[in-house]
Each structure stands twice: as structure tokens, then as C-alpha cells.
Chain A
Amino acid sequence: MYAQMVKSEAADGEQTPEDRAFQARIDRGEKIEPKDWMPEGYRKTLIRQIGQHAHSEIVGQLPEGNWITRAPTLERKQILLAKVQDEAGHGLYLYSAAETLGVSRDELFEKLHSGAMKYSSIFNYPTLTWADMGAIGWLVDGAAIMNQVPLQRTSYGPYSRAMIRICKEESFHQRQGYSIMMKMAGGTPEQKEMAQDALNRFWYPSLMMFGPSDKDSVHSAQSMAWKIKINTNDELRQKFVDETVPQAEYLGLTVPDPDLAWNAGRGHYDFTEPDWTEFFDVLKGNGPCNEERLGARVKAWEDGAWFREGLSAHAEKAAARRLAAE
């Protein structure tokens, strides 16, 4: 998922009558809208979660953007470009959803750039071959869907509506990624090698996308009561593994987990947990591409300052001219 380890504001102290009425609305399945009363903790937690999700969409443009100029055919180039453009669009929807909670896009950018807010750990891994464009669509968009489909039912109206729009496009992305994997896995020996290597490199980072194991995930209970979080990290991770393993088999690729096995008793695959030390390391900024990814965002923002200032200056001049003409 694109929001990992979002710290939930625990309700501080006694529940007020408003708090109880609010919770009752959520329990009845009502949607909370921007003008409605909401606990400060709900608002803050949502800003963190939606903000982190939005940041993930735009930082997520970079690893795939890395291959747009090297896409191997005109059609693949168009598909990839459209996909990365969609991610920018997702960022836009989500920043807009966050704005309804009283935080501007610029403020959120500032927090991203200063490191005060995070984005998904997955985007700190490099894209080394064309097969990575397949693996990302298949696994990363696939994992995002696992998390975002239930979030279509989240309690906050604007967030839920953004998720509905986004989910449609994400499933398209996943199919496109899988189609690249099909070509690669069924292609020349070198292509097949690239496909397997991409799966090897992206498997565990994809599992990490769901966040730490439930037993170490301290902030879930309040978020789940608020229906900001619908499923636990482990539930979603299991669902992802169960759906993805047969897809890997169909491709003729091997999931890089020697202990992966179907457990008939549980009705699920048993699998090896990702290396959580690596996960926390990447979150802290020590992943292979943290500096490049954040650096690219900061550079785009700083280089664009004169552009944005130019446009606002023109808007002011134009408004003044209109006023003078009246």
C-alpha cells in the first residue's frame, strides 16, 4: 500500500458526546464530508495518510519515468507514458482530497521535501531493466489495488471518491504490467532472465508495501474504528501472496522464496516475511534510491519556482488590468 506506518492520533482522554456521535455515524456506514464536524485526531490522521498516499503517487512516477525514453516500441512508449501520467493524476486527486481537510498542496509538498512526510518505501528501489516496467505494474500496482479496493469504502467521502476513480486506472496498470511480463517471460532467454530478475528484486519490497506485521503495527486499532484503514497489514499481504503466486506460475517464473508453499489447512500460501530491518532502513532514508527520488522532487519544485511565480504575477497583472478597464 502507498501509506505505510501512518501514525494514528489516539483519541486523547475521555470520549466526548460529539466523539461518540461521530463514531456512531461511521458505524452506521455514513460518509463524513468536509463540512461535517470531525475529531481533530481523525482529521490529522487522514491528512497524514492521504498526504503520504499522494506523495507516493508522484514519487512513484520516477522509477517508471526512468524508462520512458528507452521504451522499446512506439506502443510501449505510449502505454508507459500514459501510465506514469495517470499516477500524476492520482496525486492530483489525492492532494485535492487532502485540501478538503484544510491543508494545501504546497504545505504537503514542503513536508515531503523536508522529509517530515514519507512516501511508500517501494519507490526507493531502482528500475534496472525493461522487465521492471512489467514487474512494477504487476506487483506494485497490484499491491496498491489490494489496499485501495477496500479503501473505496473508507469513511471520508472525498477520499473514498478519489479511491474509486484511482482503482479503475490501477487495475488497468496491473494488466499492462502483466502483459509486459508475459512478453518477457515468453521471449528470448535474455528477456526471460530479465523477467525473473525483476521478480527477484521486487518480490520482497512489494510485500513490504503493506507495512509491518500486525503484531508490530501499533496504530491500527483507532484507524480501523474510524474506517480509515479497513484491513490489517497481514490480511492484505496474505491476500496479495495468494493472488500473485499463481500469476507467477503462469508466467513460468519462480517466486524467490524457497519456503513458499500452499497450506491446505489454512487455505493460504505460507511464505517468508520480508526482511523488516531492510524496510525500516529504507524508510529512514537508507534505501538504494532515497536521495535520488527525493532529490528529483525537490529539484523539480525548485527549478519550477520561477514558472509558478511568473504565472501568478501574470494573473495579478491581468486582474489589475481588468479592474482598471471597468
Chain B
Amino acid sequence: MPSLPDMATPEAERLAQEAAQPADPHITDVALKPALFDWLCRMGDGALILGHRTSEWCGHGPALEEDIALANTALDLIGHAALWLELAAEVEAQGRTADDLAYLRDAMRFRNPQIVELPNGDIGRTLMREFLYDAWHYEMLLKLRDSSSPRVAEIAAKAGKEVAYQLDRASDLVIRLGDGTEESHARMQAALDHLWPYTGELFTDDAVDEAVAEAGIAPRASELQGPWDATLREVMGEATLTVPDRRADVHLGGKQGRHTEHLGYILAEMQFLQRAYPGAEW
């Protein structure tokens, strides 16, 4: 039997935490709940899956400094994922935790854009993907600071600083490798060409985007296209890389739960222990 303090502590902690949270009527808005929950999962799942992919580099980086930097990025992203998914779980109010959402949902319930679930490929593709996502992520978090939801704004402010740093780092490396050797240039161009048709999903609106935008919580996905494009042109120009002349919105559906074949394998690996030993504590 647990001792009395053990039983009392989590409850006291929870109450103290709740008291510290800014009042946020959106969190308990029943009509908004399905859209807000979905949207928070998009934010959380994007960070989680990209963080997971990035963490695959740990111990295998092309230079010690880069190994450390990639682990840092992965850590930041998984930290953001935990914040978004905690809030999603709170909005859902079904007693699930952030871990339940990360480890016990199947692929069709994941809401990340497809671009983050693609395999890492070489370090060039990994960095190009990071840049493309960071540039979107940065603009998104910047806008979210003015969210009508104080809880969302709070997470965005915290994550925004880290993502600003990640974007700087990724831009710098894309530029240096694009304008490096012939081989590094060719690899970075190939990476951009490969990833390009997945980028459109980031800017494609749907009913969920519409609902959270209506509530003043987040910008419409399409609103981020302009600033993202400006960053992209600037960095690719310096990197001497060519923005592909083909449709960017070829691969859609991740945000709605339709994924590539790759996500199932990520989850099989990531969720293995929670699935194999239901209810165990780690």
C-alpha cells in the first residue's frame, strides 16, 4: 500500500500546477475540442516524429560536433512534442497522458505532415528536411505567440527560441554545403528535389486549420506560405541551389492521418515496449 505522502503528493502537485496555468477558456471549449485536439496533435506529432528521426543520428554523425548538434535538435523537438501532447491530452480530457498519445496511438491517429516521417537519407537530406521544416516551424511559432490561447502562446514562446536557433543552424549548413564542393552541391540539390513535393502539405488548409484560425488560436496553414517562401528563396539563393519547378503539394494527407509507409515502422520501433508490456511503468 502506498504511504500517505505518496498518495497526496501528485495531487498536490497537480493542483499547484493548475493554479499556475493562465486561464484559457479554449482548453475547455466543448465545441472546439475535436479541432483543437487534432491541431495540437499536429504540432506535437510533427515535433515528435522529426525528433525521433533526428535522434537516429546519435552516434553516427559525420563529425563529433554535428553528432552533438543533431542530438540537441532531437532533444529540443521531443521536448516540444511533450508540451504539445500534454496540452492535447488535457484538451481531450479522457484521462490520457502525453505518453499515451505518443506510444499508444496507431498511424492513422498521427497528425504529422508526411515530410517528417521520411527516412533520414544522407546527412544532406536530413539537414535539408530540417531546414524546410524549421523554416515553417519558426514562422508558425512566431505567429502563435499572439495566439488567443495563452497556453498555446506559452508553449510557442518557449519552443520558438529553440527553433530560431535550429533554423539558423540548418540554414547555415544548407548554404555551406550547397556552395561547397561539386559533390556536396549535387547532394543538397538532390535532397531539395526529393523533399520538395512534400512541402506543400505544410501550407494546405483544411477544416481543422479553419476552426482554430476562426478561434484566433493559430494562423491558417496557407498564411505561412509567404514568409516561408521568402526564407527559402534567400537561403537557396545563397546556397546556389535551385528551387524545383514542380508542384510542391504532391504528397498530402499526413495532417489528416494518411501517411507514407514509413510511419508504421517508426511507430513499431518507438512504441515497442509500451505495446509489448501494457501497463508497465518505466
Contacts and interface: CB of A to CB of B under 8 A. Distances in A.
Interface stretch (A6-14, A75-83, A204-212, A276-284): A75-83
Contacts of A77: 55, 78
Give the interface residue-count category, chain A: 35 or more
Contacts of B58: 61, 65, 68, 81, 84-85, 88
A39 interface: no
A74 B269 contact: no
A184 to B, nearest CB: 8
Nearest to A66: B59
A246 interface: no
A301 B62 CA distance: 6
A29 interface: no
A148 B62 CA distance: 28
Contact of B280 (A69, A89, A187, A303): A187
B61 to A, nearest CB: 7
B59 A84 contact: yes
B177 A307 contact: yes
A303 B122 contact: yes
A69 B269 contact: yes
Interface in B19-67: 48, 52, 55-56, 58-67
A307 B186 CA distance: 12
Given A73-B99, A307-B124, A314 B75 contact: no
A151 to B, nearest CB: 21
A190 interface: yes
A1 B113 CA distance: 45
Q: Is the interface of A mostly helix, strand, loop or mixed?
A: helix
Interface string B111-138: 0000000000011100000000000000
B55 A309 contact: no
Contact of A85 (B75, B81, B181, B272): B75
Nearest to B102: A74
A89 B183 CA distance: 29
Contacts, number: 149
B200 interface: no
A183 interface: yes
B179 A73 contact: no
Contacts of B82: 74-75, 78
A310 B177 contact: yes
Given A69-B52, A74-B81, A183 B59 contact: no
B121 to A, nearest CB: 11
Contacts of A95: 64
Interface in B167-211: 175-177, 179-181, 183-185, 187
A116 interface: no
A69 B71 CA distance: 12
Contacts of B85: 74
A315 B176 CA distance: 8
A296 interface: yes
A317 B103 CA distance: 47
A68 B57 CA distance: 10
20 contacts: A58-B59, A68-B56, A69-B55, A69-B270, A72-B280, A73-B103, A76-B282, A77-B55, A85-B58, A92-B65, A95-B64, A130-B273, A187-B281, A188-B279, A300-B62, A304-B66, A307-B177, A310-B183, A313-B184, A314-B175
Closest 6 CB pairs of A and B: A304-B62, A310-B184, A310-B180, A61-B59, A85-B71, A65-B59
